[in-house]
Amino acid sequence: MVSEMSAADAFSETTLASTRVFDGRLLKVRVDRVRLPAGGEHVREYIEHPGAVMVIPVLDSGALVFERQYRYALRRVLLELPAGKIDPGEAVEATAARELREETGYAAGFWRHLGTIHPCIGYSDERIEIFLARGLSQAGAAPEHGELIEVCELSLDEAIDAVAGGAITDGKTVAGLFWAEKVLKSGW
């Protein structure tokens, strides 16, 4: 049923004009004028994003490595899995290894790509590539300038309980934890 996707033509919007209206240090905002499939024109506003990775680091003990980080947009500290943006020209596997090392200090012996999610389909072209990392060894963290990160460990069950109880609300982390549970307990 899922494979019977509708003909994209019946839904597609044609770009008539495209303007970058904000070019910040972090955010790039674009406004496009489009032709709707049924005719008529509309305006589409969205963030241009280079894409990101998220890593689910599994220690030999079975515990997962998390971070606490202040997220200014939400004015609070969030408990999340390690993640970061893909640098220009960087292979996603390299981004995953780099971000894991920079933020937590861990190097991983084994990597597995689990899948891709789009966190914000209404107004961003961002994609997040999800990786599982095993065979971890501590090599020393090197956070980027201005990143204040506290590393901590939770068992998978503690983390899933934290989702149920509302202590973990980061969307990518919620999706990643449930996915990790499928892999680690159900053989996905």
Residues 39-98 that bind a copy of itself (CB under 8 A): 42-47, 68-80
156 belongs to the binding site for a copy of itself (CB under 8 A): no
By C-beta, is 110 or 188 nearer to a copy of itself?
Answer: 188
- Candidate segments 87-95, 98-106, 109-117, 131-139, binder of a copy of itself by CB under 8 A: 109-117
C-beta separation of 78 from 95 below 8 A: no
Site stretch for a copy of itself (CB under 8 A), options 35-43, 93-101, 104-112, 134-142:
35-43
DSSP code at position 61: T
Place of tokens 């506290």: 150
- Among 5, 60, 61, 89, the residue binding a copy of itself under the rule CB under 8 A is 5
Phi, psi of 158 (to 5 degrees): -60, -40
Q: Is 163 in the site for a copy of itself (CB under 8 A)?
A: yes
Tell whether residue 109 is a contact of a copy of itself (CB under 8 A).
no
Question: Using the rule CB under 8 A, is 143 a contact of a copy of itself?
Answer: no
* Residue 16 binding a copy of itself, by CB under 8 A: no
Shortest Cβ distance from residue 131 to a copy of itself (Å)? 15
Say which residues have a Cβ less than 8 Å from residue 36's Cβ, sequence separation at least 6.
13, 42
Q: Could you say whether residue 21 binds a copy of itself (CB under 8 A)?
A: yes
The full 3-state SS of 177-188, as one line of letters, equals HHHHHHHHHHCC
- Please list the residues that pair with 78 across neighbouring strands: 69
Return contacts of 157-165, CB within 8 angstroms, 24+ apart: 159/64, 159/66, 162/79
